[in-house]
Amino acid sequence: MKKTAIAMLLACVFAAPAVFAQQSDAAPAEAGHGERMVQHRVSYLTTVLSLTSAQQTQVTNILTTAEANRSTFHTSMKTAHTNLQNAIHSNDAAAMEGAANSIGTLTAQETLAHAKTEAAIYQVLSAEQQTKMAQLETEGGHRGGPGFGPPPGR
């Protein structure tokens, strides 16, 4: 059991730097990326749900706040992964456990923040729009994150 857990942890550790390197290289190099993602998401929701201009403003504010928070989570997660790498290199089991726990906590916080963002957007919608949104979620046409629109081919 312990060997399996360590193997899983190591697999995650070695895969994580590649994932975060891609994200961290893209984010700072492209100023305004988050803004464009917010605009894209608002545009998508406007198209599929016929948002009013007031709703567009509300959704834009919700997503802009979420994007700013996501950036903070990203920085914290990158630090936690660096700490985990350092602990692995120094064979410090206690530090590995602490870093892994930090990563777990940050992941839970990010998931909760995302859920709260989606709930806030849902509350802005009319009953008819909420029904349409639920239908999109069921069909997989709604990806639920800043900047995500319909799947390819739609």
Pair 34, 67: CB distance under 8 Å: yes
Q: What is the pLDDT of residue 1?
A: 53
Quote the number of domains for the chain. 1
| Dist CA 120 CA 96 (whole Å) | 36
Pair 121, 59: CB distance under 8 Å: yes
Q: What is the pLDDT of residue 140?
A: 74
User: 45 lies in a domain?
Assistant: yes
Q: What is the pLDDT of residue 52?
A: 96
User: 134 lies in a domain?
Assistant: yes
Q: Using a cut of 0.75, tell me whether the model's pTM lies above it.
A: no
User: 87 lies in a domain?
Assistant: yes
Tell me the mean pLDDT in the region 125-136: 93
Q: How far is C-alpha 117 from the geometric centre of its chain's CA atoms?
A: 11
| Dist CA 145 CA 131 (whole Å) | 18
User: 100 lies in a domain?
Assistant: yes
Task: Single out the residue of 81, 60, 72 nearest to residue 18, CA to CA.
Answer: 81
| CATH number of the domain within which 81 lies | 1.20.120
Question: Which structural domain range is residue 73 located in?
Answer: 33-139
Q: What is the pLDDT of residue 11?
A: 47
Tell me the mean pLDDT in the region 48-69: 94
User: 57 lies in a domain?
Assistant: yes
Q: What is the pLDDT of residues 13-46, one digit of tens each?
A: 445 444 444 444 444 445 588 889 999 999 999 9
User: 40 lies in a domain?
Assistant: yes
Tell me the mean pLDDT in the region 97-107: 95
User: 51 lies in a domain?
Assistant: yes
